[in-house]
Amino acid sequence: MSDCLFCKIINGEIPCDKVFENEKVLAFNDIDPQAPVHILVIPKVHIESLNDINQDNCEIIKEIHLVIKKIAKDLKIDRDGYRVITNCGELGGQSVKHLHYHVLGGRNLKWPPG
Ligand code: AMP
Ligand code: ZN
């Protein structure tokens, strides 16, 4: 989508601090990190939020999870533990309307979140 921030990152219009990329998925460091590791993992296709996942596009969720697992292992946060979050909609705190998964690690994460 032309006015979507993350689509602009995908097509190179806006730079990012890339962590991983394959044909379907891009991962980059969050610009405002909330933990020593704070990476965003996004599909290269524009999907607005988890609300828009369906039988036709849900394969990407598997791909994203496999990428998250690989990143966690590569950054050595897999054993100590980490958190994966997708904020959905206004009350969920979603500010960018392109599906994304926050991967947070490297510190003791509190629960419940704010
Ligand atoms: P959310 O609030 O769940 O929609 O998450 C959006 C995330 O995108 C926030 O954590 C922002 O810090 C992050 N963000 C916004 N702009 C950029 C950017 N240009 N590069 C990297 N991360 C960004
Ligand atoms: Zn988009």
CATH at residue 62: 3.30.428.10
pLDDT tens, residue by residue, 77-98: 999 999 999 999 999 999 999 9
Residue-wise over 10-46: b if at least 16 C-beta within 10 A, else e? beeeeebeebeeeeebbbbebeeeebebbbbbbbbeb
- Does residue 66 surpass a pLDDT of 90? yes
How many angstroms separate the alpha carbon of residue 52 from the centre of ligand 2? 12
Residue 71's domain comprises 5-105
Residue 97 lies in a domain: yes
pLDDT tens, residue by residue, 5-31: 999 999 999 999 999 999 999 999 999
CA dist., res. 94 & res. 28, Å (int): 17
User: Tell me, what's the pLDDT at 114?
Assistant: 84
* Closest C-alpha residue for ligand 1 atom 20: 31
Catalytic residues: 100
Residue found by looking up tokens 């510190």 in the block:
107
Share of the chain above pLDDT 90, in %: 97
Average pLDDT across the chain, whole number: 97
The pocket around ligand 1, CB under 6 angstroms, is made up of 5, 14, 16, 28, 30-32, 40, 87, 93-96
Overall pTM surpassing 0.95 (yes/no): yes
The domain total for the chain is 1
Nearest ligand by distance to the CA of 47: 2
Nearest ligand by distance to the CA of 43: 2
Residue 114 lies in a domain: no
Q: What confidence category does residue 62 fall into, taking pLDDT thresholds of 50, 70 and 90?
A: very high
Q: What confidence category does residue 2 fall into, taking pLDDT thresholds of 50, 70 and 90?
A: confident
Residue 34 lies in a domain: yes
Residue 112 lies in a domain: no
Residue 65 lies in a domain: yes
CA-based nearest residue to 6, from 35, 38, 33, 31: 31
Report the nearest atom of ligand 1 relative to the CA of 14.
19
Report the nearest atom of ligand 1 relative to the CA of 96.
4
